[in-house]
């Protein structure tokens, strides 16, 4: 084989190394050959797409669900023989570099994402065809970020209004002759990647059991194909608070840090969406654990979000 190496490289346009709608992506295709090589066609493509795939068992039948959406597709022909098949184009011996440039459409597109049964990818692909039996291919994905500051705004304008507002909820559970009341307050509904959020739990334990609050980040991935819908959920444990003995009350405040690599909330893809909840449960021995879920929007953080120091003091209004 005369083609020893084929690769695609691109130039970064910012410190994140990401691209957004309207950006120019430029780079080069590198080919290394052991001697002069005849080619039929040599091209590079840029593509953005979303795809979902999953299986369901319906009785004795396995049903396959899938869907795809193409956001853009561009093709640049580097070399192609004039007679489309006689191999008249030549690549010189050694290392050869071919530049390319594409402009990403300035339209609303979701950020790169990979979930349980679907993914959103943006890629560059090069293909070198020597003959119908000898085709060389290579591919590289590049990270893409939506321009929308709120990629969930179309879901509800009220979400944006409530991003900085406190969220509160109450749950009362009965155990035998006693009851446990749990009041949960989160500092706000919107938090950036890598930031911290304060959560306060007031527990009035009038039962004979010791209860312990636990804190979770609940992730919900939704996928849609051919009018069918499937959901994948995942609970990430943040940690536990101090136990509340029987016949006592206590307020526990905890600062929860959102991991910087957590994908932001989004709704701007017709085939999938990503949502979060903040869940607080009370671990009750030999009983069903009561829980409270509060809405949580994770926003895109800054490039240095992981260097931010966690907040040390959180103030809450007094719970009723």
Interval 200-219: pLDDT, tens: 999 999 988 899 999 999 99
C-alpha to C-alpha distance for 91 and 229, rounded to whole angstroms: 49
Residue 158 DSSP code: H
User: Can you tell me the distance from the alpha carbon of 101 to that of 295, in angstroms, rounded to the nearest whole number?
Assistant: 42
User: For 228-239, what is each residue's pLDDT tens digit?
Assistant: 999 999 999 998
Average pLDDT, the chain: 87
Clarify whether residues 189 and 105 are in a common domain.
no
- What sign results for the dihedral spanned by CA atoms 261, 266, 268, 271? positive
Banded model confidence at residue 308, pLDDT cuts 50, 70, 90: very low
- pLDDT tier at 84 (50, 70, 90 boundaries)? low
Q: Over the stretch 62-81, which tens digit does the pLDDT of each residue have?
A: 889 999 999 999 999 999 87
* DSSP-assigned states of every residue in 28-71: EEEEEESS-EEESEEEEEEEEEEEEEEEEEETTEEEEEEEEEEE
**295 and 164 in one domain?**
yes
CATH number of residue 191's parent domain:
2.60.40.640
pLDDT band at 162 (very low <50, low <70, confident <90, very high): low
**Residue 248 and residue 312: Cα distance in Å, rounded?**
27
pLDDT at 166: 85
Residues 169 and 62 in one domain: no
Residue 164: pLDDT band with limits 50, 70, 90: confident
37-65 confidence digits (pLDDT tens)? 989 999 999 999 999 999 988 888 888 99
Rounded CA-CA distance 246/177 in Å is 12
pLDDT on residue 101: 97
Q: Is the pLDDT of residue 135 over 60?
A: yes
Count CB atoms within 10 A of the CB of residue 282. 24
Q: How many CB atoms lie within 10 A of CB 267?
A: 20
In terms of domains, do 182 and 291 share one?
yes
Residue 269 contacts residue 207 (beta carbons within 8 Å): no
By CB atoms closer than 10 A (0-12, 13-18, 19+), residue 39 is buried
What is the predicted pLDDT for the residue at 88?
Answer: 67
* Same domain flag for 165 and 130: no
Mark which of 106, 141, 176 sits at the end of a domain. Answer: 141
**pLDDT computed for residue 220 by the predictor:** 96
The model carries a pTM of 0.84
- What's the pLDDT at 152? 67
Q: Are 213 and 282 within 8 A, CB to CB?
A: yes
Helix (H, G, I), strand (E, B) or coil at 143: coil
Nearest Cα neighbor of 243 from 205, 203, 201, 210 is 210
CB distance 167 to 185 below 8 Å:
yes
As a whole number of Å, the end-to-end CA separation of the chain is 77
- The answer as to whether 59 is a domain residue is yes
241 with 172, same domain: the answer is yes
Q: What is the pLDDT of residue 303?
A: 63
- Residue 297's pLDDT is what? 92
What are φ and ψ of residue 161, in 5° steps? -60, -35
């Amino acid at each position: 084989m005369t083609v020893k190496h084929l690769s695609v490289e691109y130039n970064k346009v910012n410190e994140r190394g990401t691209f957004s709608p309207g950006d120019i992506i430029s780079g080069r295709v590198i080919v290394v050959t052991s001697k002069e090589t005849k080619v039929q066609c040599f091209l590079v493509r840029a593509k953005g797409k979303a795809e979902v795939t999953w299986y369901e068992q319906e009785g004795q039948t396995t049903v396959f669900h899938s869907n795809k959406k193409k956001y853009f597709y561009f093709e640049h022909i580097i070399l192609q023989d004039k007679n489309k098949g006689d191999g008249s184009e030549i690549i010189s011996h050694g290392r050869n570099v071919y530049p390319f440039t594409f402009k990403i459409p300035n339209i609303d597109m979701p950020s790169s994402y990979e979930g349980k049964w679907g993914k959103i990818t943006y890629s560059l692909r090069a293909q070198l065809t020597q003959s119908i039996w000898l085709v060389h291919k290579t591919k590289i994905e590049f990270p893409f970020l939506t321009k929308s500051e709120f990629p969930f705004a179309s879901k509800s304008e009220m979400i944006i209004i409530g991003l900085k507002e406190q969220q509160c909820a109450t749950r009362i559970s009965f155990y035998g002759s006693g009851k446990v009341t749990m009041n949960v307050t989160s500092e706000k509904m919107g938090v950036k990647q890598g930031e911290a959020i304060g959560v306060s739990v007031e527990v009035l334990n009038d039962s004979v059991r010791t209860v312990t609050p636990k804190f979770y980040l609940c992730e919900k991935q939704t996928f849609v194909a051919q009018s069918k819908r499937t959901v994948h959920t995942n609970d990430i444990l943040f940690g536990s608070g101090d136990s509340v003995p029987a016949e006592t009350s206590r307020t526990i405040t905890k600062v929860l840090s959102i991991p910087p690599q957590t994908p932001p909330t989004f709704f701007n893809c017709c085939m999938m969406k990503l949502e979060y909840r903040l869940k607080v449960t009370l671990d009750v021995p030999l009983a069903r654990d009561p829980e409270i879920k509060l809405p949580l929007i994770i926003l895109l953080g800054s490039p240095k979000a992981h260097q931010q120091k966690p907040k040390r003091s959180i103030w809450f209004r007094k719970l009723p």
